[in-house]
Structures are given as structure tokens and as C-alpha cells.
């Protein structure tokens, strides 16, 4: 991205920021869905990422060599915050009395999960990694950042990226196989047959972003 566009964004030009959104929204959304395995959460992550990027737009200076890495770094922090909030919520809920038993709908769910099974298994396996390994894997492997760009996004040395990625690959090969043996019955929304992410999430998040940025 040229420095003129950087300058327009820093000055508060919403049209210039929309250009950044158009170019990078799908990458951020893909990173979020692959990391969380949750389509609705991925939309929230993408919206929050671009809202935070707009708030931090003054940082778009020469030291930001890769806007994509900058955005994915913001997205990673957003997901950290969401995970912390979810953990606090679970801890609070665990202190409540147990809910009444509900009917078992697992047979219905099994028939709906064929397309999403591998994505869900991979997402569950990712959650079993250390957070530091998970973040490196999703940025380098799934979001196709180079080692240097991932290091920039996470604020760590390139050598650390390489070592964490090596450990993550080794663990995931074993963990995904384990997860596929016992499928998760979350009823996660499936991907398209091609494995690509649908346009609906990006479109919804863009509408949300433009509404909030006004």
C-alpha cells in the first residue's frame, strides 16, 4: 500500500480506510474462522479488528511494512481478549446451579456436520495447543504470512516464529487425528464444497463496520 493511502487513513479519510477493508477483510475473516472454528465469532472478530484498526490508524506510518500483518496482529489481540472474556464467563457460570437436563439432539446434529467435521476437528485441536503456538500456526500456515511478517504481527523474533511453528505442526498432526476419532457435535456451520469461506460473513461485517465508523 502506498504512503499516500497511509496518510489519507491517518487523516481520517473513511474512503481510504474502506480500500484497506476491501483488500484485507477476507484475509482477516479467514484467519478468525480458522482460529475459532465459529462463523459468528469470526464476523465479530473481523468487525472488532477493523474498528480497532480505525482507532489505531495513526500507527500507519513507515514502520508498518505490511498492512496485512498489522491487521492480523490486531485480530490476534482481539481473539485473545474474547478468549479471556469467555473464560471469565465460564468460570462465573460454573458457580451457578446445574441446569435442567435437555433432550439429546445428537442424532440430528450428526447428519448436519459432514462438511464441517474436519474444520471443527482442526479448531478443537488448535485450542489444545499453547496459545503462542496456535497464534504462529494460524498466521503462517492458514493466513499465509511469511516468518518475518508473522514476527512483526506478534512482536517476537523470527527465530521464535520458526521454533513455535515447528512444535505446532508436530502436535497438530497428532491432535487432529485424535479429534476426528470422536467428532464434536457443536453443529458448526459448514464451509462451501470448495473449502472456501462464503461472502456472507465479509458482507455482514463490512455493513457493521461502516455503520459503527460513522
Its domain, for residue 124, covers 3-213
The pLDDT assigned to 62 comes to 60
Closest CA to 175 of 116, 117, 126: 126
Q: How many domains does the chain have?
A: 1
Distances in whole angstroms, Cα of residue 151 to Cα of each of 49, 69, 73, 147, 162: 19, 9, 10, 6, 9
CA dist., res. 210 & res. 214, Å (int): 6
- Reported as a single tens digit per residue, the pLDDT across 92-140 is 766 666 655 545 444 444 444 444 677 777 777 778 888 888 888 888 8
Distance CA 87, CA 78 (A): 14
Is residue 78 very low, low, confident or very high in pLDDT (cuts 50, 70, 90)? very high
Write the pLDDT tens digit of every residue in 139-198. 888 788 888 888 888 889 999 999 988 888 888 888 877 777 755 444 444 343 334 444
Amino acid at each position: 500500500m502506498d504512503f499516500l493511502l497511509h496518510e489519507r487513513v491517518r487523516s481520517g479519510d473513511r474512503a481510504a480506510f474502506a480500500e484497506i477493508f476491501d483488500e484485507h477483510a477476507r484475509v482477516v475473516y479467514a484467519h478468525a474462522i480458522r482460529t475459532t472454528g465459529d462463523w459468528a465469532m469470526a464476523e465479530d472478530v473481523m468487525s472488532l479488528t477493523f474498528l480497532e484498526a480505525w482507532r489505531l490508524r495513526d500507527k500507519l506510518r513507515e514502520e508498518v511494512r505490511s498492512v496485512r500483518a498489522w491487521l492480523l496482529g490486531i485480530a490476534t489481540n482481539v481473539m485473545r481478549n474474547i478468549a479471556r472474556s469467555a473464560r471469565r464467563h465460564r468460570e462465573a457460570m460454573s458457580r451457578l446451579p446445574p441446569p435442567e437436563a435437555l433432550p439429546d439432539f445428537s442424532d440430528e446434529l450428526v447428519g448436519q456436520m459432514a462438511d464441517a467435521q474436519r474444520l471443527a476437528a482442526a479448531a478443537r485441536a488448535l485450542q489444545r495447543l499453547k496459545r503462542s503456538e496456535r497464534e504462529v500456526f494460524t498466521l503462517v500456515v492458514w493466513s499465509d504470512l511469511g516468518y518475518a511478517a508473522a514476527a512483526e504481527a506478534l512482536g517476537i523474533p523470527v527465530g521464535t516464529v520458526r521454533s513455535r511453528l515447528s512444535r505446532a505442526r508436530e502436535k497438530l498432526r497428532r491432535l487432529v487425528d485424535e479429534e476426528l476419532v470422536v467428532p464434536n457435535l457443536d453443529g458448526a456451520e459448514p464451509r462451501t464444497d470448495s473449502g472456501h469461506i462464503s461472502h456472507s460473513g465479509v458482507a455482514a461485517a463490512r455493513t457493521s463496520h461502516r455503520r459503527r465508523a460513522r
